[in-house]
Amino acid sequence: MPATQKLSVDREQLLDQFRTAVRKDIATASTPHNGRNTASITLRHFVHPSHYDLAFDFMRICSEELGEPLDERGVWKYGAEGELWLPEALALRAEAMKADVESSAAT
């Protein structure tokens, strides 16, 4: 395989990689607050620029690992509120939900 060709990583592998990274962030942090900070940075790096479609899965993992709630939109506010990628992720989610509703209505 040429050196420039990347191996594809499926959705589940990427989610596992993210969970592992967040667990490491939490375990190596000097304080719980620092664990939240590093987890939010990890979230940013995993979402942007190419995984907006997984943003809500990533935020759910942060919520589970840190024991923090998601808001009514499914957003981990500490790590995502104010992030430049959040509006794009919300728009993609709304688009997907609309497509699901239209698909259900058609059947």
| Per-residue tokens: 61 | 């993992």
pLDDT in tens, 40-95: 999 999 999 889 999 999 999 999 999 999 999 999 999 999 999 999 999 999 99
> What's residue 102's pLDDT?
78
Run of H or E residues at 18: helix 11-28
| Listed range (23-32, 37-46, 50-59, 94-103) with the worst mean pLDDT | 94-103
Task: State the DSSP string of 20-39.
Answer: HHHHHHHHH-SSHHHHHHHH
Three-state DSSP class for residue 56: helix
Confirm if 62 and 39 have CB atoms less than 8 A apart: yes
- pLDDT range class, residue 7, cuts 50, 70, 90: low
| Cα 31 from Cα 17, distance rounded (Å) | 23
- pLDDT range class, residue 4, cuts 50, 70, 90: very low
Predicted structure pTM score = 0.85
